[in-house]
Structure 1
Amino acid sequence: MGQYAIKMPDIGEGIAEVELVEWRVKEGDTVKEDQVLADVMTDKATVEIPSPVAGKVMSLGAQPGTMMAVGAELIRLEVEGAGNVKGDAPAAKKQAAAVPPDMKDNVTHENTSVPARDTSPPPKMQPPRATPAPMRAPGEKPIASPAVRNRAWELGIELQFVHGSGPAGRITHEDLDVYLASRGQPGAVGASTMLRERHGEEAIPVIGLRRKIAQKMQDAKRRIPHFSYVEEIDVTELEALRAKLNEKHGAKRGKLTLLPFIARAVVLAVEEFPQMNARFDDDAGVVTRHHAVHLGIATQTDNGLIVPVLRHAEAQDVWACAREISRLAEAARSGKAAREELSGSTITITSLGALGGIVTTPVINHPEVAIIGVNRIVERPVFDAHRNVVARQLMNLSSSFDHRVVDGMDAARFVQAIRGYLEAPALLFVEGGS
């Protein structure tokens, strides 16, 4: 038997180091050739690292959250034959896992493969085991002696929640002791035991995608002087049109959400305000205005916020936009989005859907200069042109801009242009928008 050291491969794009996000195997596991060993993260995407050989896991090279250089030893396997490590020992000496300096305080014995042994002598008395609360019918009176009831009242215990171990479920003093040991110390006299102080804390390492999101948000807020502009939009006519289009074409072309219409409105508005469809290289002091509209679509996933890119939105109608947005969102949520689908956006739309709130202050997707935030639709009474009160569907757009290169007046006019298209939705289907 020999040892086979698998090193961190060169993923390409000039990447010198990656973050180890998750192990797919543990020490002692038997792995097959091409089986995924670990997930690592670059600046752009999560990458699976497969095993080039079959073998048994001897040691892992690092803890999740560690930044590993290309060429560093990722994992060591015991394999048939000589392996690729010279001077193999009968068994590999277990190496201590590398831990990032800023995470040492967060690593506990739960993170290690072999828990620490407890060599202290056993206690003389084991604490009573927690007893589940009794299942009493509503209104059923617990059985207990006057002395037990008096003591329970003094301790602030509700007998309804105490298990009785005596005949016919009678609650004894011992049952009160078990309840106290399992539910915590009593509070003030007469206080409900449901109101108890909670203690302890949990350290959650910020690693993987969450670390990348944190770094990107921090960098964006640190480098970009944001300002936000909020405008209320009447989407009553747009919602009526959307419903008619879905009724007539939904079965063949697919259902339309509000997002494709907003995407189309943004595409038309940036034709009038090209300074919004731009990226600012603040190191070089250059603003690049793009003719193509590559829309970032901020998408919430189980792992955090990801921004896949709808490329050349200017060349797609609302149904094509809807299909591509749906495909990108699914790819992002399943972790299958390609690297090129997660970079290169020129302006971003972000929406929390039904949870969109009244007003938000979205963070710009650096190095872009504008982001359009979509809030939820609410129905409110509004005065019409004849001073009659009518019900209208209203929605706020909360947008943020880079004040270094976008003036407040231009930002306001840009959002007003978007508003014009959404409040007169027929313009979305006219060549040139007007």
Structure 2
Amino acid sequence: MIARRIWRSHRFLRPFSSSSVCSPPFRVPEYLSQSSSSPASRPFFVHPPTLMKWGGGSRSWFSNEAMATDSNSGLIDVPLAQTGEGIAECELLKWFVKEGDSVEEFQPLCEVQSDKATIEITSRFKGKVALISHSPGDIIKVGETLVRLAVEDSQDSLLTTDSSEIVTLGGSKQGTENLLGALSTPAVRNLAKDLGIDINVITGTGKDGRVLKEDVLRFSDQKGFVTDSVSSEHAVIGGDSVSTKASSNFEDKTVPLRGFSRAMVKTMTMATSVPHFHFVEEINCDSLVELKQFFKENNTDSTIKRTFLPTLIKSLSMALTKYPFVNSCFNAESLEIILKGSHNIGVAMATEHGLVVPNIKNVQSLSLLEITKELSRLQHLAANNKLNPEDVTGGTITLSNIGAIGGKFGSPLLNLPEVAIIALGRIEKVPKFSKEGTVYPASIMMVNIAADHRVLDGATVARFCCQWKEYVEKPELLMLQMR
């Protein structure tokens, strides 16, 4: 059976020593002894679980091994394994299962969000959810237990959910409350934690001894814990009732940063350590406006929305071909510049989940129509918080279209390790003078290029911008050189 095979794969378990593994070990409870002492007092150690495997286009990850197994009871701890290079923690967004649910192999268990993407965690085993260890919104370190699964094994164990007991080989019974701790929901456990109460000492009044919210509050009142602040907080969040005192006071509110907002703190802090050089230029977009109108009038695909961005992205790629140092990254340790072969142009997108920068791969090989479709796909995924890790990694230069919201131009910070980022202002009609001195209207867009001054000098950035500007103002030149 599954649990027995897992146990055999771990039969080489041995005491941990600092020379045995490179990374910290995981502590696994041992339940094999028939001693009456607590299982927690008989620990042993096991190598960390194998790294997670990518589940293909389903955006799902799963552990190759359970973090901890118990061959007698058939309980398996499913950890949060590595979701990407350099990822040390993830935010739990939501659960797809609840305690007591039966799960199949590769069934989604929960959804987590790292600094780079949103990922579904799937089950590697078939069984029943015995314990959920975290609530949505929690920050979970790699290696921490997400959920405990009860895996049935006809020869080694029998999990009797009706009596909430574990029947061992020796015939002795262990209550699930001793094995798993107090039965409760993640919200109730968080409430007990906020009040500083050990939930395992509370007598539950729910089904099978489950600890309810009322049990925690009753225990808190009996022991003299202060619950006013917590109760009022829950009342406001729940929306059922708000006290007059709370509504009359303008109180401060602490908002924890999560997901992409949390990642932005790290990336922008890193960017401030890099010397920036800014170059501002204005581009006449009259031809760009006419080209967009032509596409709009002759568009036969109603699912494709024509914007200025695809043409700006393609013309930018053409300019990068002539100035490859703008499409590079810098290795500060070895003092080397890596010229990127692919033009993976990122587009900053402001979503309700935070700022995210997916990139369009290999723009130099794509047509305007292909760029338009790929941009639409990325925008749809970003709006629904469904971007894949591949969509947000590997970028070589970034466009920030702040003009879509408002503002003439911005002063962007680098999206490291890229060496350039471009902020696009809004296109607006302004009066211009011709060579003859007459006044005419022109559609002008301000652009601000921020460059890594360790790699790019002012002259290189200016020449690059002038080349890009020429392609935008004269699309016929762009068409002549497109492949």
Structure 1 residue aligned with 2:21:
none
User: Matched residue of 1:376: which SS?
Assistant: coil
Matched letter for residue 90 of structure 1: T
| Bigger shift: residues 39-48 or 363-372 | 39-48
| Bigger shift: residues 245-254 or 336-345 | 245-254
Contact 1:250 1:256 in 2 (8 A): no
Match of 1:286 among 318, 322, 336: 336
Contact 1:358 1:375 in 2 (8 A): yes
Matched letter for residue 32 of structure 1: V
The alpha carbon displacement at 1:304 in A equals 1.3
Match of 2:128 among 55, 59, 67: 55
Match of 1:354 among 395, 400, 404: 404
Match of 1:221 among 242, 266, 272: 272
Inter-CA distance 198–362: structure 2 relative to 1 (3 Å threshold): farther
Tell me if 1:19 matches 2:90: yes
Tell me if 1:8 matches 2:79: yes
Q: Quote the Cα distance in structure 1 between the aligned partners of 2:472 and 2:410.
A: 19
Inter-CA distance 312–83: structure 2 relative to 1 (3 Å threshold): farther
Tell me if 1:44 matches 2:116: yes
Q: Quote the Cα distance in structure 1 between the aligned partners of 2:255 and 2:439.
A: 52
User: Matched residue of 1:242: which SS?
Assistant: helix
Matched letter for residue 199 of structure 1: F
Q: Quote the Cα distance in structure 2 between the aligned partners of 1:345 and 1:89.
A: 53
Q: Quote the Cα distance in structure 1 between the aligned partners of 2:307 and 2:258.
A: 34
Structure 2 residue aligned with 1:135:
none
Contact 1:356 1:374 in 2 (8 A): no
The alpha carbon displacement at 1:253 in A equals 9.6
Tell me if 1:321 matches 2:393: no
The alpha carbon displacement at 1:22 in A equals 2.4
Contact 1:234 1:392 in 2 (8 A): yes
Q: Quote the Cα distance in structure 2 between the aligned partners of 1:203 and 1:367.
A: 32
Contact 2:320 2:327 in 1 (8 A): yes
Matched letter for residue 254 of structure 2: A
Structure 2 residue aligned with 1:259:
309
The alpha carbon displacement at 1:46 in A equals 2.4
Q: Quote the Cα distance in structure 1 between the aligned partners of 2:85 and 2:291.
A: 49
Q: Quote the Cα distance in structure 2 between the aligned partners of 1:63 and 1:83.
A: 31
**Pairing of 1:8-407 with structure 2 (within 5 A):** 8=79, 10-11=81-82, 17-24=88-95, 28=99, 30-33=101-104, 34-51=106-123, 52-61=125-134, 64-70=137-143, 72-77=144-149, 82=157, 89-91=175-177, 92-94=180-182, 115=213, 116-117=216-217, 119=221, 198-222=249-273, 224-251=274-301, 254-407=304-457
Q: Quote the Cα distance in structure 2 between the aligned partners of 1:432 and 1:20.
A: 43
The alpha carbon displacement at 1:23 in A equals 3.7
The alpha carbon displacement at 1:370 in A equals 0.4
Contact 1:298 1:306 in 2 (8 A): yes
The alpha carbon displacement at 1:213 in A equals 2.4
Inter-CA distance 255–309: structure 2 relative to 1 (3 Å threshold): same
Bigger radius of gyration among the two: 1
Contact 1:27 1:60 in 2 (8 A): no
The alpha carbon displacement at 1:429 in A equals 0.8
Matched letter for residue 116 of structure 2: K
| Bigger shift: residues 246-255 or 235-244 | 246-255
Contact 1:62 1:74 in 2 (8 A): no
The alpha carbon displacement at 1:288 in A equals 0.6
Q: Quote the Cα distance in structure 1 between the aligned partners of 2:309 and 2:108.
A: 37
Structure 1 residue aligned with 2:479:
429
Deviation per residue, 1:19-48 (Å, 9 max, x gap):
243241686463533543332344532221
User: Matched residue of 1:243: which SS?
Assistant: helix
Calculate the TM-score normalised by the size of structure 2: 0.64
Q: Which has the higher contact order (CA 8 A, sep 6+)?
A: 1
The alpha carbon displacement at 1:258 in A equals 0.4
Q: Quote the Cα distance in structure 1 between the aligned partners of 2:183 and 2:260.
A: 27
| Bigger shift: residues 235-244 or 44-53 | 44-53
Contact 2:329 2:339 in 1 (8 A): yes
Structure 1 unmatched ranges of 5 or more: 99-103, 122-180, 186-195
The alpha carbon displacement at 1:371 in A equals 0.8
| Bigger shift: residues 251-260 or 343-352 | 251-260
Inter-CA distance 331–25: structure 2 relative to 1 (3 Å threshold): closer
The alpha carbon displacement at 1:214 in A equals 1.9
Inter-CA distance 240–83: structure 2 relative to 1 (3 Å threshold): farther
Contact 2:87 2:114 in 1 (8 A): no
Contact 1:25 1:38 in 2 (8 A): yes
User: Matched residue of 2:217: which SS?
Assistant: coil
Q: Quote the Cα distance in structure 1 between the aligned partners of 2:292 and 2:465.
A: 21
Matched letter for residue 19 of structure 1: C
The alpha carbon displacement at 1:373 in A equals 1.3
Matched letter for residue 253 of structure 2: E
Match of 1:409 among 451, 459, 474: 459
Matched letter for residue 385 of structure 2: G
Inter-CA distance 213–315: structure 2 relative to 1 (3 Å threshold): same
Instruction: State the number of aligned residues.
Output: 354
The alpha carbon displacement at 1:279 in A equals 0.9
Inter-CA distance 83–382: structure 2 relative to 1 (3 Å threshold): farther
Matched letter for residue 466 of structure 2: Q
| Bigger shift: residues 87-96 or 283-292 | 87-96
User: Matched residue of 1:430: which SS?
Assistant: helix
Q: Quote the Cα distance in structure 2 between the aligned partners of 1:267 and 1:83.
A: 63
The alpha carbon displacement at 1:344 in A equals 0.9
Deviation per residue, 1:118-147 (Å, 9 max, x gap):
6399xxxxxxxxxxxxxxxxxxxxxxxxxx
Matched letter for residue 362 of structure 1: P
Contact 1:267 1:293 in 2 (8 A): yes
Contact 1:54 1:79 in 2 (8 A): yes
